[in-house]
Structure 1
Amino acid sequence: MIPAMPATALTSRQASVAALRFGRLASMGVVAVLILIAGVWASWGSAQYVMLTKGRERGTIEVARCAQDVCSGPYTPLSHGSQARGRVVIEKTVAVRKGQTYTVVVKPGSADVVRSGPAGVLYAWVPMGGALLLASVVVAGGLRRTRFAWVLAGSGIALLTAAFVSI
């Protein structure tokens, strides 16, 4: 400490550094949590139908036609109380091919279906895998918690790899 500098200046400088550090940690923590919440929110739109199948109509779709964003085909029921339909619609992805048959769950009150089974569950949680990867960067860079960031990144990579392999 410089003799001409009062002792209060040093403690106020330390307090301001501590306040800035706390602000950085708090803001980056909020950003990381918001990214993870957004990943769950994006995934839950499809995952709720695939994971909570009790009381829902389950069956198979044989993909007959594919347009730009959707594929359609006849629906054959597998669950009790489900009714056959001449045409249901499934989102066109890399995992849906014309002429193939997939097990699906019907979204209530619509003609839309989503894939079921292990492949459907993993595919529904793909947005969460991306959120885990993005949050790992924020945790490593903003929070400087590299071990936790590696856990988040490893979880995201494992989820995305499992979804890719199952589809």
Structure 2
Amino acid sequence: MSGAKRRALGYGRAAAVGCVALVLLVAGVLASWDAAHHIVLAKGREHGTMTVTGCGSEVCTGPYAPSDGAGARSRVSVEKSVAARKGDRFDVVVKPGTDEVVRTGAAGFFHAWVPLGGALVLAALVIGGGLRLTRTAWGAGIAGGALLMAAFIAL
């Protein structure tokens, strides 16, 4: 194979692997942003406290007490996590137009970004193995691992 063909093949491989890493990272951001934007852009939203009264396989439910004088709700639901047990109380923000809430504070913030942490760890493997950018791969892997560890500790 000639040198020009070999270089073109190398550039094509790098572009394909770069696209895979980019797709992983974009998917992680989009999966995280669904819950995270309610926490990051919480100004003007309904804030309060939720008390967990029961948990199903995917969600936990309970009454909601607003902190800003809005109407209380007898039942709201939050995505189930390992840290939500019956009787627990935590600060939440209500998703507009629904009875779904998202946990706020450090625990809620890090929990919302867990998909991005996983995507960073996976992208690190692709970056290191496919693109052979070891320092960048280590940086992405450490950032993803730190985000996952912070979520574990905060919850």
- Normalising by structure 2, we get a TM-score of 0.97
Choose which of 87, 93, 114 in structure 1 pairs with 2:81: 93
Write the distance in 2 (CA, Å) between the matches of 1:136 and 1:28. Answer: 12
1:109 aligns with 97
Letter in 2 for 1:144: R
Matched, 1:127 2:115: yes
Q: Deviations over 1:107-137 (max 9, x none)?
A: 0001000100111010000000000000000
Structure 1: segments with no counterpart, 5+ residues: 1-11
Any idea what SS the aligned residue of 2:2 has? helix
Residues 19-98 of structure 1 mapped to structure 2, 5 A cutoff = 19-80=8-69, 82-98=70-86
Structure 2: segments with no counterpart, 5+ residues: none
Letter in 1 for 2:94: V
Write the distance in 2 (CA, Å) between the matches of 1:123 and 1:26. Answer: 32
Write the distance in 2 (CA, Å) between the matches of 1:66 and 1:140. Answer: 41
Shift of residue 35, structure 1, vs aligned partner: 0.6
Shift of residue 138, structure 1, vs aligned partner: 0.4
Write the distance in 2 (CA, Å) between the matches of 1:102 and 1:15. Answer: 61
1:143 aligns with 131
Q: Which runs of 4+ in 1 moved over 2 A?
A: none
Alignment size in residue pairs? 155
Shift of residue 68, structure 1, vs aligned partner: 2.0
Letter in 2 for 1:161: M
Letter in 1 for 2:18: G
Identical-residue share of aligned pairs (%): 52
Structure exhibiting the larger radius of gyration computed from Cα positions: 1
Q: Provide the aligned C-alpha RMSD in A.
A: 1.0
Write the distance in 2 (CA, Å) between the matches of 1:50 and 1:40. Answer: 14
Any idea what SS the aligned residue of 1:72 has? strand
Q: Deviations over 1:27-51 (max 9, x none)?
A: 1111111110000000000000011
